[in-house]
Structure 1
Amino acid sequence: MEMNQILFLGIIGLVAGFLSGTAGIGGGLIMVPAMVYLMGMSQHNAQGTSLALLMMPVGILAVIQYYNKGFVNVKFALILALFFVAGAYMGSRLAVNMPEKILRTAFGVCMLLVGFKMILGK
């Protein structure tokens, strides 16, 4: 691995972690496009790499901060986690067998829909 790749990955990770901690957004929202467009990774590889990162307790320090201020609904988090695992399994089974162009388009459409919803409100 080249030094500039390590530097880019470090910057991507730092920005994604910062935005995750400050805005509660998923790291994949930042990391996947950054890995595709800055690192030249395929959509499949970027999504897989982003998911691999989630396996580690990377968010634990941010969660502690929110929990200490009373901003974590533990019951909701546990229920979400249970169904997240099932959804992640089903989604990954679909995504790994999907053509690259369709997968990238689907990812972009999801980002647009979420963005419009956030901008336009309820």
Structure 2
Amino acid sequence: MKTKMDLQIVLILIVVGLLAGVFSGMFGVGGGVVMVPIMVFALGYTQHQAQGTSLAVLAVPVTFFAAYTYHTTGEHPINFKYAFIIAICFVFGGYFGTKIAISISETLLKKIFSLLLIVVAIKMFFSK
């Protein structure tokens, strides 16, 4: 993992943030799909470090304005009651998921992560 923050690192971090933000706004994804792979390949993070950093970025203020924009269009209102229930469960799921992730090897974690992305991509590609 690169530790010195030089211009190259700052530019990579800016690109990571912008891509994650654009993808989050467009597709509802950003952390796992965009930030984690870039941090692993461009910054030399381990899978564990990249996932932890991604989680650290995804605090409520980061996504609030994107969600609010969807809600205020009128065409795509958000059911905030549903979102609240998901968020509460996300907290517990995130905690237990982290416990599992840190207990397995980075190699196995990368393979599971890769399979998840492949399965989701295939399912979405062939759905209506």
Name the amino acid aligned to 1:76.
Y
Distance 1:56 1:78 in 2: 12
Alpha carbons 2:31, 2:55 under 8 Å: kept: no
Match of 1:89 among 88, 95, 118: 95
Provide, for residues 65-107 of structure 1, a one-character-per-residue CA deviation record: whole Å limited to 9, x for no partner: 0110232111210111111111111100010121110011111
Distance 1:91 1:55 in 2: 17
Matched position secondary structure for 2:62: coil
Between the aligned residues of both structures, percent identity stands at 43
Structure 1 portions without partners, runs of 5+: none
TM-score, normalisation: structure 1: 0.93
Distance 2:40 2:60 in 1: 22
Look up the match of 1:41. 45
Structure 2 portions without partners, runs of 5+: none
Alignment of 1:107-122 (within 5 A): 107-121=113-127
TM-score, normalisation: structure 2: 0.89
Matched position secondary structure for 2:103: coil
Distance 1:83 1:97 in 2: 21
Runs of 4+ in 1 over 6 A off after TM superposition: none
Look up the match of 2:15. 11
Name the amino acid aligned to 2:125.
I
Aligned length: 122
Matched position secondary structure for 1:118: helix
